[in-house]
Structure formats: C-alpha cells, structure tokens
Amino acid sequence: MVGYSKFETEKYLLETLDRIERSKSEYRVLYVNVSKLKPKNRHPRFVKIIAHLFDDLVAIAGGTMFVLANGDFAILGKTITEKVVAEAVDKLRRGLITDPIWTAHSYSEFTHLFEPDEFDLLRKRIEEQMLENTTSDAFSYRYPVDAGQIDAVRSHLDEINIVDLIKHQSVLRLESSSSFKLVFEEFFVAVKDLSKRFDPNIDLTGNKWLFLYLTQTLDKKTMYSFMFSDIRNKPEKVSLNLNLSTIFLPEFEDFSKYLAEGGQKIVAEVQVMDILNNLAAYFDAKELLHQHGHEILIDAANIEMLQALNIKRLEADYIKIFWHALMEEYDDKDGEIRRMLDDIGSEKLILAKCLDDKAIRWGIHNGIRSFQGPYIDALEVALIRAQCPEGKICSAAECLKRRRQIAGSIRNECRHKDFLERKPG
C-alpha cells in the first residue's frame, strides 16, 4: 500500500472490514459514487450535504459512514436493504435531477450494495483508488471516534477549561425589508477545536450515537463555563444544544437559576434523533422547561423529515431547518412545502446554516422569517464595523472571530468590546 497518510478514512474502512471478517454475513456495505456526479455537485460542501441525506439510513442500520478522499462514501451496517437504499437515493435524486448520473443508463452507477461475498471486491476497489492516488480534488477527513475512545474523551473533558471554545451565534427575525430583530443567541462548543485538543486525527462527531453520549458531559462543561463569560450585554434568551437527559440534571436546574438572576430564559435545542429515541422523556422535558418559563427547539430538521413526521404533535416552541443548496431545486409548483410549513407555523420556524441571500429568499418565499448562519453573521458584523470607531482597521473576518467568542485571547484582541455586543433591532 502507498499513500496511507492521505487516505486515513480508506485505511479505517479496510481495518473495519478486517475486524468483522468472522461475522461479515451480518453486514452490508452501501457504496455511493459521489465522484461520478458533475463537478459542481462534487464541491466539498455538497459532499457533506449529500452525506447528511443518508443520516436516516445510517441510524436505521446502526451503521457507520466512511467519507473517502475522492468524495465517495460507504455505509457499513447490519440492516441495509435495497428498499431503504432506494428511499435514501430518491431524496438526493430530487435535488440533483439534472445530473447525468440519473439517466436510464447510469442511474445504477450511483450506488452499489455490497453483499458479504463481495467484500473482497470492495477491498480491491478501495486499494486501487489509493494506489491510483486520485486526489486532485480530495477532501481531508479524520477517523470517527469509536466506543473504545469515548470514555477517554469524557475524562479529558473533565480536566480541561473549554470556555475559550464556546462560541455564540444569533438567530434574527426579519421585521421588514431592512430590519432584523434578535430572537435569541445560540451558545455552542466548537467541536472541531475540541477534537484538536484531544486528538486532531479523531472526528468526535463522526459517530452520531457516540457523540450524543459525549454531549452529556459536554453539556455540564458548557453550562459551567457561562460563569466565566466576558459578555456583559447578555441576550434575553440563551439557546444551548442539549442532550435530552441534561434537562433533568441538578446542573441544569442550577444553570436555570443562574440565568434567572439576570432575567434570562433558556431555549433548549434537542436533536430529532434524541427525541425519537425517548419520546416520553421529550414530553417530560418540555413540560419541565415550560414550568420555568423556558422553551424547547427541535434541531437539525429537514424538509423530508417534516414531510414524514407529524412534527406538530411534538408541540415544540421552535423548529430549526438546516438549509442546503439542493433545496433550491425542490419542485413545489403545487405549494405542498409552503402549506406544510404554514401548518407548522411560521413563527416557530428557523432556517439555519444560511450561506447567502438565496437561503433567505427561499425562506421568505416559504413563509419563514427567522434565520441563522454565515449570511446573518455577516450582516451583524457589517453593523458592528459601521458603528465601531476602529471598524475600518479590523477586517470583517477578525471582527467575526472576536464577536463569536465569549472569553479568551481572541476576544481580548478587540479594543471596543462593547461594540461586539451590539444587537440589531
């Protein structure tokens, strides 16, 4: 073998196939040929979007996703069937219908389900790709954390100060054509930076179920870190990504009391996967939050999920939909998506990960008024720099980095911190 240092994920996949050799009859591997899509659809950002469309399949299969250097990915699991694969591929086809891969002759080239007796063929394919060194537009990926490492990560978390890893990002509501109002500010741990402190070769979010387990410890550290925040002009509503179980902990009650002293409320952002894993706990958590004047948000939803689930039954205060470029291609001539979103309630909906004004226009067209993401960050920074005495000296990128921190050396570089905390509306 050559070039292993460039093919960490390929190596990890091959090692995994070796480990399951004795029980391989229980497994299947779905291989997705993203590298065969048109170049514009193989952008690194699109690869991540495409991978996310297969998240449900990964969860159903209790599997692991391996994103390879050429943009292809493989899903290893025990309950992968042709039917489940077809449903997952159909989601993507709707967004990329113009790509030649979907023609009658090439449709089958996009995916292949490797049966146990074909694992040797899969090994050969991976090895050939590594030997050919076809990485001209390769992407860099790390090993997903495994069960044997997770306890070590939790122990490491207990020992370190993460206040400088916590960032915050606004959710803004469009009040008029040129006016936004702050809905709340989301505070979260920069997991990529956290991974680097533990082991730069490990992706802590690579296995969603193990990461959900890790968040139980991460939540406590995040809440504790608020006491060391350098922010003085605190928002009325503080949003946190929380493990559902965290809401029942004494640490959360203490955190709630701490914020109440400053007149602040909590918006608990809970993952759909966590909710579906324990619906009873979700309803108990929602009731507990409401009793104390807090709110609950269903995080990381997508249009397909909203179409499949009776999301209204969960009676959440907010639902956050993740924008991706493929949503531009949704054919909604009959207004089905707009009617579904209207039925949920536009006041509950937030369109997140908005990269540009296309996302904003799509949201407005579909009745959404609240937004979050890089485009919104840029609007805030533009406002700050226009008002700050030294706004022309610092670049927009420098200003954004300093604004998003709650403490630490990067934030301390700013000589006008009060402007960093200016809020629109």
The string of pLDDT tens digits covering residues 166-203 is 999 999 999 887 789 999 999 998 887 887 777 766 77
235 with 99, same domain? no
151 with 123, same domain? no
Residue 108 pLDDT exceeds 80? no
Residue at a domain's end among 112, 141, 170 = 141
User: Which residue range(s) make up the domain with 50?
Assistant: 4-141
> How do residues 178-188 score in pLDDT, each as one tens digit?
789 999 999 99
* pLDDT reported for residue 109: 65
99 with 185, same domain? no
Instruction: For residues 269 and 242, give the distance between their C-alpha atoms in angstroms, rounded to a whole number.
Output: 6
Q: Check which CATH number belongs to the domain holding 157 and give it.
A: 3.20.20.450
Q: Which of 164, 187, 173 is nearest to 268 (CA)?
A: 187
CB 51 within 8 A of CB 73: yes
63 with 161, same domain? no
CB 300 within 8 A of CB 65: no
Long-range contacts of the stretch 273-277 (C-beta < 8 A, 24+): 273/59, 273/208, 273/212, 274/212, 274/243, 274/244, 275/244, 275/314
What residues form DSSP beta bridges with 271?
299
133 with 180, same domain? no
318 with 372, same domain? yes
| Coil, strand or helix at 374 | helix
371, two tokens: 């937004």
234 with 191, same domain? yes
Residue at a domain's end among 113, 141, 169 = 141
Total number of residues shown for the chain = 425
Q: What is the DSSP letter of 323?
A: P
Average pLDDT for residues 226-235, to the nearest whole number?
Answer: 89
Q: Check which CATH number belongs to the domain holding 114 and give it.
A: 3.30.70
259 with 368, same domain? yes
What phi and psi, each to the nearest 5 degrees, are found at residue 96? -125, 40
226, two tokens: 């608020």
| Coil, strand or helix at 416 | coil
* Confidence band, pLDDT 50/70/90 cuts, at residue 157: confident
- In sequence order, what DSSP letters do the residues of 288-313 get, joined into one string? HHHHTT-EEEEEEE-HHHHHHS-GGG
In a domain, 425, yes or no: no
Instruction: For residues 21 and 27, give the distance between their C-alpha atoms in angstroms, rounded to a whole number.
Output: 10
Distance of CA 422 to the CA centre of its chain: 27
180 with 259, same domain? yes
CB 57 within 8 A of CB 121: no
Q: What burial letters (b/e) apply to 314-348, b meaning 16+ CB within 10 Å?
A: bebbbbbbbbbbbbeeeeeeeeebeebbeebeeeb
User: What's the sign of the alpha-carbon dihedral 241, 168, 380, 418?
Assistant: positive
Least confident segment among 100-109, 219-228, 234-243: 100-109
Using alpha carbons only, what angle is made at residue 350 by residues 345 and 352, rounded to the nearest 5 degrees? Answer: 155
Instruction: For residues 144 and 153, give the distance between their C-alpha atoms in angstroms, rounded to a whole number.
Output: 13
122 with 168, same domain? no
pTM of the model: 0.69
* Confidence band, pLDDT 50/70/90 cuts, at residue 11: confident
* pLDDT reported for residue 44: 64
H helices of 20-179, in order, are 44-52, 55-61, 82-95, 119-132, 147-159
182 with 327, same domain? yes
Split into its structural domains, the chain has a count of: 2
136 with 159, same domain? no
